[in-house]
A and B are shown apart, each in its own frame.
Chain A
C-alpha cells in the first residue's frame, strides 16, 4: 500500500511559468516532509523540507505548502527554469521524538519537463 503518492508521472511546464508538483500521503503519523530532485545517473538531491507544525516553507524559487487536514503537500517552483527539468520525489517520515533520524517513505516521482 503506497503511503506517499505522486499521481502525476510527468508534468510539462513552459519556462518562466509556475510548476506545481503534488503529493498525497495516507499515514497520519508522518510529521516531516521533504522534496528531492533527481537527475539521471545521480542520487536524489535535497531541495526543501517542511515540518508538520508549519503550513508553508519558502526557499528562493521553491515553496512547499502543507495541508495536514487533506494530507496533501505541493511544491511550487517559480519561475521555472530549464535546469529544473528532473524527477522530483516527495518523501515523508514519522520522526522519533527527541531526536534521531528516520527512514523516508518515498513517492514514485514526477518527471518535470521545462519547455523553452
Chain B
C-alpha cells in the first residue's frame, strides 16, 4: 500500500523556536499534500492544502506566516511552525494524494509537538 513517512515523530522545544516537520511519499508521486492538526479529544482539522510547485491554500483561521508550507517536489512537503508558542502544542499530521479526485489520502504517523 501507499506509504507516507513523517518526521520527526515527537518534538519538545522552547518557546520561540521554529520547528520543521517533513512529510514524504515513499512509493508514489503526491501531487497534493495536506496538513492537519488535532487537539486533544477533537477531530483532525485541515490546516492547509499544498500542490507541488505552487503556494499552499490555508483554511480559515490558520495563519500562513505562522505555518509555512513548502511542497518543492512530488514526494516532499514541509511544515515549519515559526516562533512556536505553547498554544501551538498539538498533534500535526500530513497526508498525501496522487493525481485524481478518486484517490484516497494516505497519512503519515504524525508529529507530537510540545512547546515549553
Residues of A within 8 A of B (CB): 2, 4, 32, 34, 36, 41-46, 49, 51, 89, 95-96, 98-109
Q: Does B49 contact A (CB under 8 A)?
A: yes
CB neighbours of A89 from chain B (8 A)? 43-44
Which of B13-21, B68-76, B79-87, B92-100 lines the interface with chain A?
A: B92-100
Bound Cα distance A32, B100 (Å):
13
Given contacts A89-B44, A106-B44, A107-B43, contact A101 B107 (CB under 8 A): no
CB neighbours of B32 from chain A (8 A)? 100-101
- Tally chain B residues at the interface, Cβ within 8 Å: 30
Interface of B is mostly: loop
CB neighbours of B104 from chain A (8 A)? 34, 46, 49
> Besides A32-B102, A43-B6, A46-B105, 4 other CB < 8 A contacts?
A43-B109, A96-B101, A102-B101, A108-B42
B101 CB to closest chain A CB, in angstroms? 4
Query: Does A100 lie within 8 Å of B101, measured CB to CB?
Result: yes
CB neighbours of B93 from chain A (8 A)? 43-44
Scoring B31, B44, B105, B109 by chain A CB atoms within 10 A of each residue's CB, the highest score goes to B44
CB neighbours of A99 from chain B (8 A)? 99-101
Bound Cα distance A36, B110 (Å):
15
Q: Does B34 contact A (CB under 8 A)?
A: yes
CB neighbours of A101 from chain B (8 A)? 31-32, 34, 49, 97, 100-101, 103, 105
Bound Cα distance A25, B108 (Å):
25
